[in-house]
A and B are shown apart, each in its own frame.
Chain A
């Protein structure tokens, strides 16, 4: 394998990479090498890859700017196969592994020769500032058009079109102290909290813990800072009250200290998670952390300076330059110009020079800098141009020079003639912004501090910021701040404060920084070369200027007008500069202007991690009855009823041909009407009710009367809400004077139990009654049809004589040798017995029924047949024939309403409200299509006059509609305005295809209107 590159920018020594091993990777199809310890970004820089992307709007070439999560440009698409594609990965956060394949997400057809860019900056004029705002104000359909175009040209990465080969999972975590960030503040906070005895979780988003110490010039106890980092991590790892989570980003900070951490478990190894001992492991894991206390040690992001053409590849953050040199052994260029507003930026120049490269000059915006680092630079012979800044970068795909000029910050003008310095790299530092994203997720407003020129986190219950996130930057102070925060958090949980032996850090003399949010140019902002504020969203200082000129005064509006801080960037680099520029344009202070709200997630989280294992066969619970296996073995098609899997119908194979659903249902229906069928009704909700006030309670929650129901008897009941609308129905049996068994609809089981409890617990606690779910304890088998008695008689000791065991009676006895309660109730209109046995024995009873049922051609039927049979009898299904706006009166069920019951039962009062008394309420009726072959569509709208003009006045809709095998015709249930008084009238159902069906309003009972068949 020949190498196409020799890593020209890799330094001979230094950094934490293993130069003895080579890793091969490709970027945009081209092969490169790097080393273990590299990120994709450091490896690209080592290989001298300048252009990594095209910009979103203007299609300008872009290079790597930062070294961490704040990177705006190097957002890549990963994956060597279609299934393993991952969009929106920051090259600065992606560890290099052998075989890694990455592509630019922007740039079409490629980043080097961008079509969009060369067609006259089409993107620029196509998307002026305010593009999003104006687009959203335009007709919505235009956005659909724009979106395709924008995605195609700008590219926001793409999802794989093949199924993800990896799995992802969740882990629920609890701790006393969650420390976010393992830099100097986080490590010292974690040590303090751990020593106190608290349960501690320490997470850090980077490949290695240590944060700024990993590339620090500073010493601790006279040794390199990383020596202390290693010791601190070893110490923490040895404590069993500490959980260390590396490669783990805290992405969301939610209510009451609920924090979501995204742990990338194998992303640094390969693009598909390798197996361990042959076992699958999750590619990434979402930790759902409930923390009593949070220590926010997220550090600070360096702010770039905003000057002309500051987006040309070769413009980097000063701190990133140091990181690449010191941590990765990569100097991303040859000749450096540094532009800074503070002392810290000088580190980049010192590191650069020590790496053997040329520092052309340092442009320091301050007039008289004299801090220790400044003196070091002077001593090293570096040219320092005080009172100046880089006002414009030269170059196209790589920096070729820097124009440096004296500037007047207060007057926002260039004060002298610019000097052009030849260079290939410009490092800039405009100070630091504490990383306040997470605290902002909670809704707290950050607080501006003039002394550090940045926002610090606002108050959050149970949260303590530490170190850089707290606006503390000097290393010795950061370590102490960490210990204080760790102790404060531990003490809040009742743990004693602990002392930590902190290493000695040397104090440094620093000269104060100066506030510089936009570097002036000779030309006014609107005509100067583009000065980028938000590189990812292509927002310029001029764009913000335009926004304020167009009247947008709220920073939230400026954000939406310009797109500043949108999307995956969340304003990490640009927000403070942008707000400051807006403030200046508006003549306000920064605190007056305020900040926009940072939202979760801090960095993109793959959908897989959010879903976890709740996918495919574990997507949702599948609830099975005790007879499920039999149904599967007998070829049932299943219907989802809530989470239950219920047999829908049982297609038979006749002469090698499997029945259609229509054929199977017709056969099942006729079997019940003419022979005997059996239904697994175990999913019905069942509630055991015990107590001396059980009967009184039933009377209050049901619309009908319960005072006289005798033991051994069963009654059908309607349950309303207090607005008079039906909420559930079912039968309730009197087991003993103080003992009832209530059944509910399958879907209503949990809701009805909660309903009973809420009334008992909040309104009538004095009633002595207990409710318990026994849904799962009992299996229920409905044997129904003219032959039902004969079949059941073969295997039971219960006297089934029609006088001894009447309709709406229940009896106890043995069925197939198993103790059973048998209820003579019918949802089919035929003779029916509902057999309840303890679920562990259900399969035995069911199989015994079939063994004896063969001679009767005992036919298993499913929910579809159940629906047809009950509808033929005009029996409602709550939730299908009702929808929360239907009263028992609307259903013509006056017989089930106890108007004269002594207690004002739930729903009664509402039945006399004016709205429930309206004569034109939608009422349940039967519909008989004029053409018996027509099966009306459920949900079809009903009109009285089909000739009226559109939009027609709709007067109701079809709620249930089937073909009836026994009647050999279609039939339907429907709600129609004033329907109860319209018997015999014709209504019309105009369909989408232009057909209009006519139907007659009839009784809801289509079959056996006298109800003789169930009484045999």
Chain B
């Protein structure tokens, strides 16, 4: 839609950046990782996060053209592009979350806006407002059962699903990109709380923290 002010929030030349978990002392936690962990945590910081608003029919063509995947119209659906680097997730009947590699958000927004033209839609960059944490390991599901009232049993939560739900006393987006991994999309201001919650919940299973991927 026209008359919307786009804003590239990334500096032209590199400056020090801090992810929402910069405060959480991940390096120290990584050092104390269990040898045979039941659950492993890894932050994937600085990814591009965009919120896409609009009608599914309006957005679908542009998304296919720009991202090469069709818009997941089914509630709770999560799809990835061919190389698995870019994902788009249903959040509500008129809202999707797009996560792309670092640095791609602004150009993606621009291409989507160009493709969408004068249609009624909205695109919002929230890359600074959230981060992604990956959980893997044989006990990851139990850690989630301690954390969210949402049913994470594979029968109810197959790969390719994602939901916004309660996490501890905060909220999070919980996704299952494939059989072996879970992803939590955490709001910046709640990220440290959620991370501490995860570390606590994982302790009895043996917890490993991997250095942040960038």
Residue pair A817, B15 in contact (C-beta under 8 Å): yes
Could you tell me which residues of chain B, from 112 to 155, have a CB within 8 Å of some CB in chain A?
120-130, 142, 145-146, 148-151, 153, 155
Could you tell me which residues of chain B, from 1 to 19, have a CB within 8 Å of some CB in chain A?
1-5, 7-13, 15-19
Residue pair B15, A818 in contact (C-beta under 8 Å): yes
Residue of A nearest to B169 (CB): A621
Residue pair A623, B16 in contact (C-beta under 8 Å): no
In the bound complex, what is the Cα–Cα distance between A817 and B11 (angstroms)?
A: 6
Residue pair B126, A776 in contact (C-beta under 8 Å): yes
In the bound complex, what is the Cα–Cα distance between A279 and B36 (angstroms)?
A: 13
Residue pair B51, A772 in contact (C-beta under 8 Å): yes
Residue of B nearest to A241 (CB): B155
In the bound complex, what is the Cα–Cα distance between A502 and B22 (angstroms)?
A: 60
Query: Which of A279, A776, A841 is within 8 Å of B188, CB to CB?
Result: A776
Nearest CB of B to A845, in Å: 8
Interchain Cβ contacts within 8 Å, total number: 176
Check: B101 CB closer than 8 A to any chain A CB.
no
Stretch at the interface among B60-68, B80-88, B173-181, B199-207: B199-207
Check: A171 CB closer than 8 A to any chain B CB.
yes
Stretch at the interface among A376-384, A735-743, A897-905: A735-743
Residue pair B204, A691 in contact (C-beta under 8 Å): no
Dominant SS among interface residues on chain A: mixed
Residue pair A738, B200 in contact (C-beta under 8 Å): no
Check: B27 CB closer than 8 A to any chain A CB.
no
Residue pair B189, A840 in contact (C-beta under 8 Å): no
Residue pair B15, A690 in contact (C-beta under 8 Å): no
Check: B182 CB closer than 8 A to any chain A CB.
no
Query: Which of A169, A199, A279, A613 is within 8 Å of B155, CB to CB?
Result: A199
- Give per-residue flags for A584-618: 1 if the beta carbon is below 8 A from chain B beta carbons, else 0: 00000000000000000000000000000110011
Residue pair B7, A819 in contact (C-beta under 8 Å): yes
In the bound complex, what is the Cα–Cα distance between A614 and B168 (angstroms)?
A: 8
Residue pair B7, A821 in contact (C-beta under 8 Å): yes
Residue of B nearest to A172 (CB): B149
Residue pair A288, B196 in contact (C-beta under 8 Å): no
Chain A: interface residue total (CB-CB under 8 A): 65
Residue pair A629, B23 in contact (C-beta under 8 Å): yes
Chain B: interface residue total (CB-CB under 8 A): 63
Residue pair B18, A843 in contact (C-beta under 8 Å): yes
Check: B162 CB closer than 8 A to any chain A CB.
no
In the bound complex, what is the Cα–Cα distance between A928 and B126 (angstroms)?
A: 46
In the bound complex, what is the Cα–Cα distance between A281 and B13 (angstroms)?
A: 48
In the bound complex, what is the Cα–Cα distance between A778 and B145 (angstroms)?
A: 32
Residue pair A816, B168 in contact (C-beta under 8 Å): no
Do A772 and B15 form a contact, CB below 8 Å, given A279-B206, A623-B193, A624-B192? no
Check: A799 CB closer than 8 A to any chain B CB.
no
Nearest CB of A to B78, in Å: 20
Could you tell me which residues of chain A, from 159 to 200, have a CB within 8 Å of some CB in chain B?
169-174, 199
Do A778 and B128 form a contact, CB below 8 Å, given A622-B193, A624-B23, A692-B120? yes
In the bound complex, what is the Cα–Cα distance between A24 and B203 (angstroms)?
A: 33
Residue of A nearest to B17 (CB): A840
Residue of A nearest to B186 (CB): A776
Find chain B residues with CB under 8 A from A622 CB: 192-193
Do A290 and B151 form a contact, CB below 8 Å, given A281-B204, A691-B122, A774-B124? yes
Find chain B residues with CB under 8 A from A617 CB: 196
In the bound complex, what is the Cα–Cα distance between A683 and B192 (angstroms)?
A: 16
Check: A913 CB closer than 8 A to any chain B CB.
no
Find chain A residues with CB under 8 A from B19 CB: 840
Nearest CB of B to A687, in Å: 10
- Give per-residue flags for A912-939: 1 if the beta carbon is below 8 A from chain B beta carbons, else 0: 0000000000000000000000000000
Residue pair B200, A775 in contact (C-beta under 8 Å): no
Find chain A residues with CB under 8 A from B148 CB: 172
Check: A1015 CB closer than 8 A to any chain B CB.
no
In the bound complex, what is the Cα–Cα distance between A770 and B123 (angstroms)?
A: 9
Residue pair B23, A839 in contact (C-beta under 8 Å): no
Chain A residues with CB under 8 Å of chain B are: 169-174, 199, 276-277, 279-282, 288, 290, 613-614, 617-618, 620-626, 628-629, 644, 683, 688, 690-692, 711, 735-739, 768, 770, 772-779, 812, 814, 816-819, 821, 837-844
Can you name 18 A-B pairs with beta carbons within 8 Å? A172-B150, A613-B168, A614-B169, A618-B193, A621-B169, A623-B189, A736-B4, A768-B120, A770-B121, A770-B122, A772-B124, A774-B129, A779-B128, A818-B11, A821-B7, A837-B9, A838-B10, A842-B18
- The 6 tightest CB contacts between A and B, nearest first, are A776-B129, A777-B129, A838-B9, A838-B128, A737-B3, A770-B122
| Extra pairs beyond A276-B204, A688-B124 (20, CB < 8 Å) | A169-B146, A171-B142, A279-B203, A280-B204, A613-B168, A618-B168, A621-B169, A626-B18, A626-B188, A628-B23, A683-B189, A739-B4, A770-B54, A776-B188, A776-B189, A778-B128, A812-B7, A818-B15, A819-B9, A841-B18
